[in-house]
Amino acid sequence: MSEQPLLTVTIDNITVQVPAGTSILQAARKIGGDVAPPAMCVYSKLEGSGGKCRTCLVEVSKGSEKDPRPMPKLVASCRTNVMDGMEVKNITSPRVTDARAGVVEFLLINHPLDCPICDQAGECHLQDLSYEHGKEGTRYEFQRRTFKQHDLGPYIQLHMTRCILCYRCVYTADQLTNKREHGILDRGDHSEIATLIEKSLENNFIGNVIDVCPVGALTDKTFRFKNRVWFLKPENAHRECPDCCGKVTLWNRGDEVFRVTARKDEWGEVESLADGSTAWICNTCRFEKKKSSDWVIEGPRKISRHSVISQGHYEGKVGTTVPTEIFSAVHGGRNPKLLMDIHSVSEVNRPEIQLSQIAGPSTGNDFTTGKD
């Protein structure tokens, strides 16, 4: 059989060659970095995903070599395939930047501003997107949607107000478990994820909906409010599991395992294994194996996300590696200098009180009240 010729596509002035059938989004991910559009609903491991959220819009400024006319409207890059000679603009298009800001505004219309108490903070794609494209205020004047609470069983917590209706969890339940009990009910503004007759989702692979959810709508009940993800140390680990691949990421603090997740790649998708299958994990590995002794630790995991979650996580010998750049090295040989002593200049606390040395929490007596 003769090999299929590769198609040439130029995205943000960078040219790549990809096989026929590749979407613009996949081609852009091949280039990587900022050229790859954000994507909240498409998930390459789930059939039928994509085309729902519109965050991946791009401008096609040249359709193909044969038909160079530009496409009149912005297109969803996850659902539009590359043509030979196509030219695409993502970050180089003001139209795209403007449209993306509009999409983010829509996604946030009903989203609660509860990042400070949301367990997804630090690894939420909507949070990242809002920082990059969001506006400071909202033009929405109506009440945000509220929903009747649904209990999804002992492991999974649903916060419907945070859901962006990306359908990833529905496809996961559909394609990974042999009986799907939840889906999207109703239409338009009333649409919601719900279990039919409020059945709990008991399938052994249903925990994977937590990993695919791009926001904090589906979170792990066994981990909620226990710790912030950026305080935890991710490590690759494995165990002999009769049900799944047993290859996971443990999220530890000290020796304590706080959370177990599947291993995710730089696009936030569960990784592929060497045999091409996806490294989905079972509920037993995810929710029941919370002791270090349950696992064979492989080593620290690199977190490729650019959000706060990747700060302070070092590959190599965790705990024994010291930064090679010291202050004087990055400041042209100058050593740090004490510029001011906050206690001598602060007018907030009583000057005779060293806040760092008082036993227990500080009280009103430790501060000047303005009435003295």
Q: Can you give the binding site for ligand FES, defined by CB under 6 A?
A: 39-42, 50-56, 76, 78
Among ligand SF4, ligand FES, none, the one that 169 touches (CB under a kind-dependent 5 to 8 A) is ligand SF4
Among ligand SF4, ligand FES, none, the one that 39 touches (CB under a kind-dependent 5 to 8 A) is ligand FES
Candidate residues 56, 60, 76, 166; the one interacting with ligand SF4 per rule CB under 6 A: 166
3-state SS of the chain is CCCCCCEEEEECCEEEEECCCCEHHHHHHHHCHHHCCCCCCCCCCCCCCCCCCCCCEEEEEECCCCCCCCCCCCEECCCCECCCCEEEECCCCHHHHHHHHHHHHHHHHCCCCCHHHCCCCCCCHHHHHHHHHCCCCCCCCCCCCCCCCCCCCCCEEECHHHCCCCCHHHHHHHHHCCCCCEEEECCHHHCEEEEHHHCCCCCCCCCHHHHHCCCCCEEECCCCCCCCHHHCEEEEEECCCCCCCCEEEEEEECCEEEEEECCECCCCCECECCCCCECCCCHHHHHHCCCHHHCEEEEECCCCCCCHHHCCCCCCCCCCCCCCCCHHHHCCCCCCCCCCCHHHHCCCECCCCCHHHCCCCCCHHHECCCCC
Among ligand SF4, ligand FES, none, the one that 104 touches (CB under a kind-dependent 5 to 8 A) is none
Among ligand FES, ligand SF4, none, the one that 167 touches (CB under a kind-dependent 5 to 8 A) is ligand SF4
Smallest distance from ligand SF4 to CB 145, Å? 13
Candidate residues 164, 206, 245, 285; the one interacting with ligand SF4 per rule CB under 6 A: 164
Distance (Å, whole) CA 221 – CA 207: 10
Binding of ligand SF4 at residue 215 (CB under 6 A)? yes
Candidate residues 217, 250, 257, 260; the one interacting with ligand SF4 per rule CB under 6 A: 217
Between 59 and 235, whose beta carbon lies closer to ligand FES?
59
CB atoms within 10 A of CB 2: 4
How large is the C-alpha radius of gyration of the chain?
25
Instruction: Please name which of 129, 98, 107, 67 lies closest in space to residue 89, comparing C-alpha atoms.
Output: 98
CB 367 within 8 A of CB 349: yes
Between 193 and 248, whose beta carbon lies closer to ligand SF4?
193
Q: 314 to 343, contacts with ligand SF4 by CB under 6 A? A: none
CB 48 within 8 A of CB 135: no
**What would the x/- binding string for ligand SF4 be over residues 169 to 208, using CB under 6 A?**
x-----------------------x---------------
Among ligand FES, ligand SF4, none, the one that 163 touches (CB under a kind-dependent 5 to 8 A) is ligand SF4
Between 74 and 160, whose beta carbon lies closer to ligand SF4?
160
Candidate residues 35, 218, 250, 279; the one interacting with ligand SF4 per rule CB under 6 A: 218
Candidate residues 14, 165, 241, 355; the one interacting with ligand SF4 per rule CB under 6 A: 165
Candidate residues 89, 125, 168, 264; the one interacting with ligand SF4 per rule CB under 6 A: 168
Between 9 and 173, whose beta carbon lies closer to ligand SF4?
173
Smallest distance from ligand FES to CB 103, Å? 9
Among ligand SF4, ligand FES, none, the one that 46 touches (CB under a kind-dependent 5 to 8 A) is none
Stretch that binds ligand SF4, among 28-36, 145-153, 161-169, 358-366 (CB under 6 A): 161-169
Return the structure tokens found at 322.
């010291």
Binding of ligand SF4 at residue 212 (CB under 6 A)? yes
Binding of ligand SF4 at residue 36 (CB under 6 A)? no
Q: Which residues bind ligand SF4 (CB under 6 A)?
A: 163-169, 193, 212-215, 217-218
